[in-house]
Amino acid sequence: MDDTAQVNNLGSMDSFQEDISLLEQKLNGSNVPQDLKDETTRAILRLARVAKYGHYSTEFETIDKYVDWITRIPWRVLTKDNYDINNAKQIMDSTHYGMDTIKNLILDYLAVMQLKGQGLKSVAPEPVNLGQREFSNPYNVPPIATNEINSTSKSPVLLFVGLQGVGKTSIAKSIAESMGRKFARVSLGAIGDVKTLRGIPRYVEGAEPGQIVKALVRTQSMNPVILLDEIEKSSGQQGVLNDVMAALLEILDPEQNQKFVDHYIDYPVDLSEVFFICTANNLGGLSAALLDRVEVIRFTSYSDDEKEVIAKSYILPRVLKETGLSNQHIQIQDDVWPLLIRPVGFDAGIRQLERNIYTLVRSVARKIVTGTPIPIVINRDNVKDFVLPDQGALS
């Protein structure tokens, strides 16, 4: 080997060693569990041997990507829970009108989680005196010691069922906010492969973790609120649907999700502290085993009266803020609201109502910038000038 080749080879080996050293430092400075750290370290050290046979680049990229993912998982990182019932009620009331039955159910769950988190005290029962004999423990059951029951605050698995636009997703966000937890949404609509949840093994082309692990990485906590949206629409193919239902069963079942194995990470990930909330428009396509492990909460349609309060107190103020307008720029008369609420028939949710208000406010904004004096008053006679004909408001 000539001098130039030797220098290039030494330079390459120095570069290899630097790459390997950086990977080791990144791994050792993380919260990765020790046994996974040891296994990954062995894979890193194999890179030095692989370099001699010309496959270093491919192997390095695979291991570098793997180390990057496992060090980004927030192992053992938990956010502090806030189970203040009054705080939770205040937040849900500020974001959702009505829905008292659903709010009360959620507050009940939070109360139970608070008691579990604090630890329940149990005191041995007083002996019962029956005449001349004392029967303090007729079945020889050992008494429960004080403070022996101290369960961690495991979260229930809630399944919100209702039509589109009735507030399922938004109230899940409010639950996360009230508990002081991070929030992540995973859409399962029309997923074509269970790998979306379980991940793709790291030595397969296109390898990456599944959406559950990615949600943990995005929130940087092991106890976020994860919303599994539209679980009944996961796939139209029966075989794929069965696989997805089986994966969801493992993810949501408290007896199994303590050691959930993502195929990319290939190491048990503890999901037991995650607060899972699922949504569905209906229960069709969901397996009986899955339904047995969730608490079904049904969302009903909004009445016209409820929609009017929501439109005035929640939607319009938000739309005005987003568009930079205020009540000084626009005034909507009371007899206009029924035209915006039910323009083309009954709608269970409020999405069409939101679209109508957005369209109306944007039309007002255009008139203001073209010189129309303020305030602009919307009434039954001129509402058609602000809301598109195909959006209704024609009666």
Integer angstrom CA distances of residue 88 from 106, 107, 306, 324, 387: 9, 7, 21, 29, 37
- Backbone phi, psi, residue 298, to 5°: -95, 135
Average pLDDT, the chain: 81
Q: Residue 95 falls within a domain, yes or no?
A: yes
What is the tally of structural domains in the chain?
3
Judgement on whether residues 268 and 187 belong to the same structural domain of the protein:
yes
pLDDT at 19: 79
Judgement on whether residues 285 and 321 belong to the same structural domain of the protein:
no
Q: Residue 78 falls within a domain, yes or no?
A: no
- CB contact at 8 A, 246 and 293: no
Judgement on whether residues 108 and 255 belong to the same structural domain of the protein:
yes
- CB contact at 8 A, 279 and 230: yes
The tens digit of pLDDT for each residue in 53-74 reads 666 677 888 889 999 999 999 9
Sorted by sequence, the CB contacts under 8 Å of residue 284 that are 6+ apart come out as 232
Residue numbers of the domain that contains 203: 87-121+145-297
Instruction: Please determine, for residue 158, whether its predicted confidence score (pLDDT) is greater than 80.
Output: yes
The Cα 8–Cα 315 span in angstroms is 66
The Cα 367–Cα 373 span in angstroms is 8
Helix (H) or strand (E) holding 365: helix 351-369
Judgement on whether residues 291 and 328 belong to the same structural domain of the protein:
no
The tens digit of pLDDT for each residue in 336-349 reads 998 888 765 566 77
- CB contact at 8 A, 91 and 64: no
Position 106 confidence tier, pLDDT thresholds 50, 70, 90: confident
Judgement on whether residues 220 and 114 belong to the same structural domain of the protein:
yes
| Chain position carrying tokens 């976020």 | 224
Position 384 confidence tier, pLDDT thresholds 50, 70, 90: confident
By the 10 Å C-beta count (0-12 exposed, 13-18 middle, 19+ buried), 288 is classed as exposed
Judgement on whether residues 55 and 173 belong to the same structural domain of the protein:
no
For residue 186, how many other CB atoms are within 10 A of its CB? Answer: 22
Percentage of the chain modeled with pLDDT above 70: 79
Judgement on whether residues 289 and 309 belong to the same structural domain of the protein:
no
Percentage of the chain modeled with pLDDT above 90: 34
Q: Find which of 212-216, 324-328, 338-342 is predicted with most confidence, using mean pLDDT.
A: 212-216
Q: Find residue 366's DSSP bridge partners.
A: none
| Chain position carrying tokens 């790998």 | 195
Position 154 confidence tier, pLDDT thresholds 50, 70, 90: low
Please tell me whether the overall predicted TM-score, pTM, comes out greater than 0.85 for this model: no
Domain C-terminal end among 247, 271, 297: 297
Lowest mean pLDDT: which of 69-78, 286-295, 316-325?
286-295
Judgement on whether residues 271 and 180 belong to the same structural domain of the protein:
yes
Q: Residue 36 falls within a domain, yes or no?
A: yes
